[in-house]
Amino acid sequence: MEKMGSLLPTELKGNVTEFKKELLRNSKIQTFLNQHSSQISDDIIHRSMSRLNEYAEQNHDCSCTSISECTNLIKGFQPTLVLENGMISVHYKPCEKEIIAEYNRKVQSLVQAFHIPKEIRNASFAHLEKKEDGRNPAILKAAAFCGSYNGHQFTRGLYLHGSFGVGKTYLLGAIANELASKGVPSCIVHWADFLRELKGSFEDNTTNKKVEALKTVPVLMIDDIGSESVTGWVRDDVLGSILQFRMHENLSTFFTSNFNLNELENHFAQTQNGSVESVKAKRIMERIKYLSEAVNVAGKNRRE
């Protein structure tokens, strides 16, 4: 880091020679001038003094631990000197921290999450505790999915079932972020909350758009299926049409649930109006089984 201190052009009226000398003592400016000595005259230096000062006033070697600490003119960007049109100019290039932050912003924008807590959105495989035996098969299968997913062939998702608080949703978050680091967009949606939102959006006519988004996203993760109240509309028109589309288009789909597959089938068979609709429940289950492999997630309740 190299700074020119408190020298500002306005304070230096009448003392231009001193100001220029001070600027030329800056080792980075010296290096630049030496590299372009055949093209840079004294007149060019004289006319470029405010630009040289702008350069000298800022950090050139980033030593910040985060972008928020950056005091440069443009946060996260470092100045470089360039010679253009007979003048010395200052250009800005992103520092390492900005490149990492930009990468993280891109990755985050690939993961859409509806009604999903922040801690899940920040989940990563690196933070998963592999010591926990109960969950290990699920972690291994999740990692295998991320390794083999290529967006061209159908890669079967997982149906992660197990009791409350064992880390099923967290694992979805880790998969979503891992896929995002490979440039794969995904969407995690808390199913019951999504349906509530959908019911509330009849009036603003966004239902089709929301359902369409879940049909077409490359990797869909339906969180907590089975926690919703079943109606024919929820089961057949919303879930059924999303799963039908995804089967047809070979799009990877994940589920988490407190129910195993048999329990989920029973759940789908009992509708809110009391009727038993076994055939319709079976039809939905066939789609879920085609799209995902059931894996039990065991372990302690982390919420306790």
The only residue of 79, 157, 167, 226 in contact with ligand ADP, by rule CB under 6 A: 167
Tell me, residue by residue from 283 to 302, as one string, x for binding to ligand ADP by CB under 6 A and - for no binding.
-------------------x
- Report 162-181 residues binding Mg ion (CB under 5 A): 169
Q: Which residue, among 33, 27, 25, has the nearest Cα to 88 in the 3D structure?
A: 33
Q: Binding mask 101-140 vs ligand ADP (x if CB under 6 A, - otherwise)?
A: ------------------x-------xxx-----------
Residue 278 and residue 260: Cα distance in Å, rounded?
Answer: 17
Minimum Å gap between C-beta 302 and Mg ion is 10
Burial bucket for residue 174 (CB in 10 Å: 0-12, 13-18, 19+): buried
Nearest approach in angstroms of CB 112 to ligand ADP is 18
Tokens found for residue 241: 């049409």
Show Cβ contacts of residue 163 under 8 Å, excluding neighbours closer than 6 positions.
258, 301
Q: Does 170 bind ligand ADP (CB under 6 A)?
A: yes
- Looking up tokens 């490979």 gives 182
User: Cβ of residue 67: shortest distance to Mg ion, in angstroms?
Assistant: 32
Taking the least distance from each CB to ligand ADP, the nearer of 13 and 118 is 118
Residue nearest to ligand ADP (CB): 167
What SS3 string covers 133-165? HHHHHHHHHHHHHHHHCCCCCCCCEEEEECCCC
Beta bridge partners, 188, equal 113, 221
Interface positions with ligand ADP (CB under 6 A): 119, 127-129, 164-170, 256, 302-303
